[in-house]
Amino acid sequence: MYPTMNDHPSYSYDSHMGPVPASGVPDPSPAQPYPVHHHAYISNSLPRAPPAPVSGQWTSGLCHCFDDPVNCVITCVCPCITFGQITEIVNRGSKSCVSRGLLFGLLALTGCACFYSCFYRSKLRGQYDLQEEPCTDCLVHFCCWSCALCQEYRELKNRGFDMGIGWEANMDRQKRGVTVAPIVIPGMAR
């Protein structure tokens, strides 16, 4: 029988790194497995800051609904709320959140809400010079209106709007010079 690394008195065995000499420095021999870096999965689980808006590009993808899970749930349960919030900002306060949300709800009962909401997607794209992707606005809203509403909501949010307070309050904040609080990543304090 051949001796193993565990039988050698100057080596200890680490379950994650394999055999480690008593000096604490791993043996660079090719028979030794590479060490496992447990910190690799932690960096992927931290919340991401919203990307900075780039002219002509959306700040998030159509299917990234879970980037904002609260809005995703609200949009799935009651899309008229999200639609109303979007339209108040896109209309620059000329139409209220409540009136547009109620109209969207009534049109949803007839099955025509996607045609109404695609108009606002086009208007949003025009305001921020965004590309019409992955296909035309009407097709996006006809095939997956909930994802489209979530994307539009995130786009306005990533461009600095607090979607819960409406147009007037956002303009008051901007006049006073109040900015959104920075995103604090837990565990990064010293």
Q: What is the mean pLDDT of each run of 10 residues along the chain (190 residues)?
A: 51 51 53 46 50 75 89 92 93 90 91 89 91 86 90 92 90 79 52
What is the tally of structural domains in the chain?
A: 1
Establish if 104 belongs to a structural domain. yes
Establish if 166 belongs to a structural domain. no
Establish if 101 belongs to a structural domain. yes
pLDDT of residue 30: 47
Establish if 189 belongs to a structural domain. no
Establish if 9 belongs to a structural domain. no
Residues spanned by the domain of 91: 65-160
Q: Render the burial of 178-187: b for 16+ CB within 10 Å, e for the rest.
A: eeeeeeeeee
Establish if 122 belongs to a structural domain. yes
Establish if 155 belongs to a structural domain. yes
pLDDT of residue 80: 92
Closest CA to 47 of 71, 66, 27, 19: 66
pTM of the full structure? 0.65
pLDDT of residue 87: 93
- Please give the backbone phi and psi of residue 51, each rounded to the nearest 5 degrees, phi first: -70, 150
SS3 64: coil
Q: Classify burial at 164, counting beta carbons within 10 Å of its beta carbon; exposed 0-12, middle 13-18, buried 19 or more.
A: exposed
pLDDT of residue 36: 45
pLDDT of residue 115: 87
Establish if 93 belongs to a structural domain. yes
Q: Would you state the structure tokens that stand for residue 88, as one six-digit string? A: 């108040």
